[in-house]
Structure 1
Amino acid sequence: MQPARGEIIGPDVIDVWTWSLNAPSLSVDGYAALLSDEELARAARFVRERDGRKFIVGRGRLRSILGHYLGLPPKSLAFAYNDYGKPSIAHPCGTSFRFNLSHSADLAALAISDRYELGIDIEEIRFLKEDIAGRFFSRKECLTLQSLPSGAYLDGFYRCWTRKEAFVKAHGAGLSLPLDSFDVSFDWANEPRLERLDGDPDAPSNWRILELETPVTFAGAVVALTKGHPVGLRYRSDEDEPRLLRSRNSFGAWKGVCGDVKAR
């Protein structure tokens, strides 16, 4: 199925949308009108009202954007979930569109492709109160993190964490995929990439990791199963016009939409 507007994303880019989860009451009411009864019930179960409002804004905006691509009323959309909870669009005629949503603090980020399985993760950078890396990172990742200057530790941790979380979401196996069963690069000397996945020697050439442009207090990543095809991020605005970013990568060269997008 092609979107009604004929807006095909294509093989060279992944569309990324970001928005604030804080919205005025009128906007929240508008988004609530797009939600299913089940989603409204979920929103009502939040202990804190502000968390329920953020859920409504996140899901309502998700429906609005996906409806735009599919040429369908946002409220008519239905979602399916695999055995590990990864969502997809349920449509009687089928659809090639894949999406993934992430949110942290007051910020939401959505990745969409009409070609590739993908995952996105965004995290607010906060000081760590425990050794999370030692519990969840691979041995190689821990050694890389320990080799960074002390002032770069927190930045390195979140670059690694968001890339690993985005990969788990893209892979689709959820928590059944141990976080130490694969390695990602995250030092500034190397491009973002998957370096190892247990049981799949071809994985590093099949998966693509892209660093997400974020506000300075956040880190983020997008991962896609492109099977070797180069792909970049295309940022979309509320006015529904693509903003093709040009950003300096870790090697000092400038790349356009088909290159890696350097965060922050």
Structure 2
Amino acid sequence: MQPADRETIGPDLIDVWTWSVDAPPSSVDRYAAQLSAEELARAARFVREHDGRRFIVGRGRLRSILGRYLGLPPKSLAFAYNDYGKPSVALPGGTPFSFNLSHSADLAALAVSDRYELGIDIEEIRFLKEDIAGRFFSRKEYLTLQALPPEAYLDGFYRCWTRKEAFVKAHGAGLSLPLDSFDVTFDWANEPRLVRLDGDPDAPSNWRILELETPVTFAGAVVALTKGHPVGLRYRSEEDEPSKALRDLSECRC
């Protein structure tokens, strides 16, 4: 592919792709052919063969989608990682391009922007066996969660958790950023937003949180450093066509 074939997104949108990582053997083989030797070695290290196949499909589809944006063959993409493990693709002249991948159970979700640093998180909703919120949420978030009706607790927990995980991934500091060092909203009374980040009073106006549209058994969020610019999520299909509906999900109770 030539550079003229590159797709652009622009300042008003973040593209979101979702796909199943459970695929027939023919698709697994096709995606495996696009991976690097290091990725194939990682796939082979999984204890369960099923998990290795899921990894191959996730990485192969990631390469296929990114190759479309960058005008490059999927196998030719070379990933770099910061000190905390966040991946990137080096482009000539420092051209801005950001992506982030998340997966849970059989579902993968990818966010792509050619303007903003971003993060995405998707989680399968499962019953909790321990008080994770008490260990990792900020005091304000924990009290908000405890005040929810019992039937809304699980939904509230995963809305908060995915927003916090997406923020950590977008921020790029990995586990060095404590989860209780910032607050996010997650109740139905408030739109998704960052309320506080220790040491950065401008953070709430610079970061944008958007709720991800997911199957009913999942929760998800996208976070982007837009510095106040409003953005919406554009959902992309398996056939690489934009979805009919363009939604800013920070204003949609999906």
TM exceeding 0.5: yes
Counterpart check, 1:257 vs 2:235: no
CA distance in 1, matches of 2:27, 2:78: 22
Cα gap change, 1:259 to 1:217, in 2 (>3 Å): closer
**CA offset digits 1:190-219 (Å, max 9, x no partner):** 000000000000000000000000000000
TM-score of the aligned structures, taking structure 1 as reference length: 0.93
1:7 CA displacement: 2.4
Unaligned runs of 5+ in 2: none
Which structure carries more helix by proportion? 2
CA distance in 1, matches of 2:102, 2:4: 26
Structure-to-structure mapping, 1:101-116, within 5 angstroms: 101-116=101-116
Q: Aligned residue for 1:23?
A: 23
Cα gap change, 1:140 to 1:3, in 2 (>3 Å): farther
**CA offset digits 1:97-119 (Å, max 9, x no partner):** 10000000000000000000000
Q: Aligned residue for 1:194?
A: 194
1:22 CA displacement: 0.3
CA distance in 2, matches of 1:263, 1:19: 22
1:258 CA displacement: 4.6
CA distance in 2, matches of 1:42, 1:182: 33
CA distance in 2, matches of 1:106, 1:258: 25
1:90 CA displacement: 2.5
8 Å contact from structure 2 (residues 7, 70) kept in 1: no
Provide the identity percentage.
85
8 Å contact from structure 2 (residues 7, 68) kept in 1: no
Corresponding residue SS for 1:4: helix
Counterpart check, 1:56 vs 2:46: no
Q: Aligned residue for 1:253?
A: none
Corresponding residue SS for 2:5: coil
CA distance in 1, matches of 2:78, 2:253: 33
Unaligned runs of 5+ in 1: 246-255
1:259 CA displacement: 5.6
8 Å contact from structure 1 (residues 21, 57) kept in 2: yes
Structure-to-structure mapping, 1:133-148, within 5 angstroms: 133-148=133-148
Q: Aligned residue for 1:89?
A: 89
1:5 CA displacement: 2.3
CA distance in 2, matches of 1:219, 1:261: 16
What is the number of equivalent residue pairs in this alignment?
253
CA distance in 1, matches of 2:20, 2:253: 18
1:140 CA displacement: 0.2
Q: Aligned residue for 1:67?
A: 67
CA distance in 1, matches of 2:155, 2:247: 24
Q: Aligned residue for 1:156?
A: 156
**CA offset digits 1:130-186 (Å, max 9, x no partner):** 000000000000010011000000000000000000000000000000000000000
The letter of the residue matching 2:144 is T
CA distance in 2, matches of 1:13, 1:51: 32
CA distance in 2, matches of 1:211, 1:3: 33
CA distance in 1, matches of 2:249, 2:161: 22
8 Å contact from structure 2 (residues 102, 108) kept in 1: yes
